[in-house]
Amino acid sequence: MRFSLVATLLLLLAAGGAAAQSGERVLATTLDNGLRVLLLEDHRSPIVSFQMWYRVGSRNEARGATGIAHFLEHMMFKGTPTYGQGQFARLVEQNGGQDNAFTSQDVTSYYVNIAADRIDLVIDLESDRMQNLKLDAKDIASEREVVIEERRTRTEDDPGGFLGEEVGSIAFRSHPYGAPIIGFMEDIKRITPEEIRAFYKTYYMPNNAILVAVGDFKAPEVLGKIRAKFGKIPKGPAPPPVLAVEPQQNGERRVLLTKQAQLPIVYLGYHVPNQKSADAFPLEMLSSILSEGRASRLYKRLVYERQIALEAGGDYNYFSQDPNLFWFWATPMPGQTPESMEKALLAEMETLKNEPVTDEELQRAKNQVEAAFVFQEDSVHRRAALLARFELIGGYTEKDRFVERLRSVTAADVQRVARTYFADDKKNIGVLLPRP
Amino acid sequence: MMRLRRLPALLVIGALLSAVPAGAARPIAHREVLPNGIVLLVAERPAVPIVVVRVFAHAGAVLDPPDRAGLANLTGALLTRGTGKHTGPELDSAIEFVGGSLSAGAGRDGLTASLAVLRKDLGLGLDLLGEVLLTPTFPADELKRKAAQIQAAIKRSEEDPGTVGGRALAKLVFPNHPYGVPVEGTVESVGRLTRDDVVRFHGAYVRPDTTIIAVVGAITVDDARREIVARFGGWKAPPESPPTVPPATPGATPRSETIEKELTQATILFGRQAIRQTDPDYFPLTVASYVLGGGSASRLYSRVREEGGLAYAVYSYVNPARYGASFSASAQTRTAEVPKVIDIMREELARMTREPVTERELKLAKEYLIGSFPLRLDTSSKVADFVVAVESQGLGLDYADRYKERVAKVTAADVQRVAAKYFAPDTFNRVVVGAPKP
């Protein structure tokens, strides 16, 4: 993906990003060992999406050990004494299932989508690897090379990924959000097996995880099976909190890169609050107004009308655990300079500050978010992921509040947040200049 | 912001039908042919109040004139850029205001217009869908704008080693067939396309008698028929017969190509022509490809990634289309290890031809290919894509069931026999994108 840094988030909101169907019968409980369990019956297809969400991501990493959460995610597939190397994938595939995992700044998530009558197998596999991972030095050594290759694909050899990492680094002085999720190359090469084992012990425990399953099962029956397997795992000491608070930014920060590429790229990031602030709702609406669809503002103005950008957009991560960035990006059309592209983006910022968005823009964004909630109901995988996303920020029922609050956002709210956060001396800007 | 453990399987596999397992007892969709030749497919999924519609016309890039590569693609992209009733921006606003989406584009074999709306907005959505297919106006300024965007996107795609390698490989695998030419064309060919070309292409090839319409979601067959007939019932085919496209013929002697780029990693691609679903050997071939490089337990994944630590992405797949098929294997590795990875890939291809796969491997491949079927049809969009693919490739709506039966019958001897035909390493074209020397 071209804009791997931001586009995935957008996708999350566009595709999964909401869903206020109240009256969803979620069976929610917390086991004695602290494991949070959310089960939702959905009998339309004979399948289940079974997901484990650990509250650990690059946010929990120390300087010098960036990428360790993601490295561990890879190691979660390398075996336990019960299920050796390659067994996880083999058993899932043999049962017609599909699995994958991802690491973000805030979480590490694992899923298996599989025929509903195979749920016992998944419960067994996931409860086993929550505490029994082997983490052999030899396996770590070979997987390290795989992670390095992944970094080459996504960062070294991808102009968008390469620039995104630099802009993240200048935007954050103190908070770990400034480090890349995949980790710096030097750290990936250096991290020791002991550190990975310690990281696993610190964060992989029932009281730091959320189990979500949506699909064709009987929730009380599945809960019994979950209790039987996961309930035996002892509660661990609470993982250390992330204490860093990003200090106020006192001036513009800028990075200019030159790399073999075909077209320039411009990234722009502003510090914004997360969902703990009431401003999160206007920011969320703003993101939609700017970027959702061909009628959205940046597409319409920069791509369609002025024809100066091949792509342009903005993105806000409502679900971020700590305050994060509001991103803007644009790829100039051939013949356009990054300077003029930057000016055009900043001019759009000024317009947002000086004029309220139109009623049509605001209503469209609200309708899009509400419709997205309905569309995501069509997929058990997306339903489960959405429950987890809201649970991570305070409770799955937050979903309902989310849509209500978005509905009440006004054009004046949007204008106010644009003025508050898109200050000219608070921007973090990255430009990639192509070298043929 | 995510870092996946490995690439999502569907992304990698690309072609939906390359691994379509089966198991549905009742027909997956209702099928009927409307008086003007449109094939209407309807699958009721009442639980969620949404409707997804796909209109597929046999107007893909295979019909591009040799000096007009990218014509189908441009025509598809322009469908939503203006109709008799609405300008492009008006169409965008109308559909997006109700939280829906309307898009169109072309692939190798066909041109597809897609609609997704809440059930309550279906009337509006279908009105717009009907307009973009039947009365597009192809405004000159929109054509100029879209052509420039496509040219810029082609230019930018030169940054992506997978795209660069894929284009080069297609040219080697299908040297005498439109499948060897990129769907989007080249910067030069797109620059030559005129409004007349687009109008002619649309008039001749987007026609009811080669069109499939799939309606999936919270709607009954009767309602779907009524709504579709109301918009598309009066659509008439042009007097000329629909065009025919020759099937791909085997290429010349396999060739190798290196494309130099300033990269830290090299992308290695092996490819050759293969067979499509109408050939009985397709099913053993699918199993063979899965054993070789289909999943996380495959031979290539085990040797190149798990044991060697040589790559993040490594896989093989069969890619069948209407007029031909290819089989490919690919890996991305650090520059210094290119020769080693090429050796492993060649060796594993050869081993498939030399010795039978183990019972364990065979069982795993078959169980996965058959057992993962429900996951491939668990949303309205997936169902719509599936029924369109099956219909457009002439496989029949019972294809899923036949697939399951055929895969279940595959033996280790079948796999070896088919591998001997299609996996001999010297029969592959090869492309490497990256730095030539460490």
- Distance from the Cα of B91 to chain A's closest Cα (Å) equals 9
- All domains in chain A, ordered by first residue: 4-230 (3.30.830.10), 253-435 (3.30.830.10)
B274 within 8 A of B327, measured Cβ to Cβ: yes
B121 within 8 A of B147, measured Cβ to Cβ: no
Q: Mutation target for A interface from B2, B160, B268: give the one with most A CBs within 10 A.
A: B2
In this structure, how many other beta carbons lie within 10 angstroms of the beta carbon of residue A398?
A: 16
Contacts for A244 with CB less than 8 Å, ≥ 6 apart: A174, A175, A176
Identify the pLDDT of residue A23.
54
Reported ipTM:
0.92
B207: closest CA among B410, B57, B65?
A: B57
- Rounded to 10 degrees, the C-alpha dihedral B302/B307/B308/B310 comes to 50
Residue B117: its H or E element: strand B111-118
Identify the pLDDT of residue B20.
38
Concatenated DSSP letters of B66-80:
TT-TTHHHHHHHHGG
B49 within 8 A of B119, measured Cβ to Cβ: yes
Query: If you count residue pairs, one on A and one on B, with CB atoms under 8 Å apart, how many are there?
Result: 212
Chain B residues close to A367, C-beta within 8 Å: 97-99
DSSP assigned state of A246: P
Name the amino acid, one letter, at B89: P
Range name among A334-338, A391-395, B371-375 with the lowest pLDDT average: B371-375
- Distance from the Cα of A125 to chain B's closest Cα (Å) equals 16
Q: Residue B48 is nearest to which of A6, A260, A377, comparing CB atoms?
A: A377
Identify the pLDDT of residue A401.
87
A73 noted as active-site residue: yes
Cβ distance A145 to B50 less than 8 Å, yes or no, reads no
The residue whose two tokens read 């009628």 is A295
Q: Kindly give the confidence (pLDDT) of every residue in chain B, 438 residues in length, as a single tens digit, with 9 standing for 90 and above.
A: 344 444 433 333 333 344 333 344 578 999 999 999 999 999 999 999 999 999 999 999 999 999 999 999 999 999 999 999 999 999 999 999 999 999 999 999 999 999 999 999 999 999 999 999 999 999 999 999 999 999 999 999 999 999 999 999 999 999 999 999 999 999 999 999 999 999 999 999 999 999 999 999 999 999 999 999 999 999 999 999 999 999 999 877 999 999 999 999 999 999 999 999 999 999 999 999 999 999 899 999 999 999 999 999 999 999 999 999 999 999 999 999 999 999 999 999 999 999 999 999 999 999 999 999 889 899 999 999 999 999 999 999 999 899 999 999 999 999 999 999 999 999 999 999 997 665
Concatenated DSSP letters of A103-159:
E-SS-EEEEEEEEGGGHHHHHHHHHHHHH-----HHHHHHHHHHHHHHHIIIIIT-H
In this structure, how many other beta carbons lie within 10 angstroms of the beta carbon of residue B204?
A: 14
User: Where are the CATH 3.30.830.10 domain residues in chain B?
Assistant: 28-232, 256-434
SS3 A15: helix
Cβ distance B152 to A144 less than 8 Å, yes or no, reads no
The domain B256-434 is placed in CATH, from the list 1.10.10.10, 3.40.50.720, 3.40.190.10, 3.30.830.10, at 3.30.830.10
Structure tokens at B274: 């293969």
pLDDT for A69 beyond 80: yes
Structure tokens at B371: 């057992």
A131 within 8 A of A70, measured Cβ to Cβ: no
Q: Residue B149 is nearest to which of A6, A143, A310, comparing CB atoms?
A: A310
Say if B149 is an interface residue toward chain A (CB within 8 Å): yes
End-to-end CA distance of chain B: 31
In this structure, how many other beta carbons lie within 10 angstroms of the beta carbon of residue A436?
A: 6
SS3 B265: strand
Q: Residue B265 is nearest to which of A94, A115, A152, comparing CB atoms?
A: A152
Strands B265-273 and A265-272, sheet pairing: unpaired
Rounded CA separation B261/B437 (Å): 11
SS3 A188: helix
The domain B28-232 is placed in CATH, from the list 3.40.30.10, 3.30.830.10, 3.20.20.70, 1.20.1250.20, at 3.30.830.10
With a CB-CB cutoff of 8 Å, which residues 199-218 of chain B face chain A?
A: none
A267-321: pLDDT as tens digits: 999 999 999 999 999 999 999 999 999 999 999 999 999 999 999 999 999 999 9
Rounded CA separation B270/B432 (Å): 9
Quick one: closest CA in A to B366, which residue?
A94
Alpha helices (H) along A31-118? 68-75, 87-94
The residue whose two tokens read 């992506």 is B160
Identify the pLDDT of residue A284.
96
Quick one: closest CA in B to A155, which residue?
B264
pLDDT for A17 beyond 50: no
- Distance from the Cα of A376 to chain B's closest Cα (Å) equals 9
Range name among A25-34, A200-209, A426-435, B248-257 with the lowest pLDDT average: B248-257
Angstrom CA distances, A9 to A70, A267, A319, A359, stand at 18, 15, 10, 26
Q: What are phi and psi of B316, to 5 degrees?
A: -135, 155
Quick one: closest CA in B to A361, which residue?
B97
Rounded CA separation B52/B432 (Å): 40
Concatenated DSSP letters of A276-340:
TSTTHHHHHHHHHHHHSSTTSHHIIIIIIIS--EEEEEEE--TT-SS-EEEEEEEEEPTT--HHH
- Mean pLDDT of all residues belonging to chain A: 93
pLDDT higher at B15 or A65: A65
Cβ distance A73 to B159 less than 8 Å, yes or no, reads no
Rounded CA separation B325/B272 (Å): 9
pLDDT for A60 beyond 90: yes
Quick one: closest CA in B to A381, which residue?
B378
- Distance from the Cα of B190 to chain A's closest Cα (Å) equals 15
Cβ burial, residue A86 (10 Å; 0-12/13-18/19+): middle
Rounded CA separation A294/A302 (Å): 11
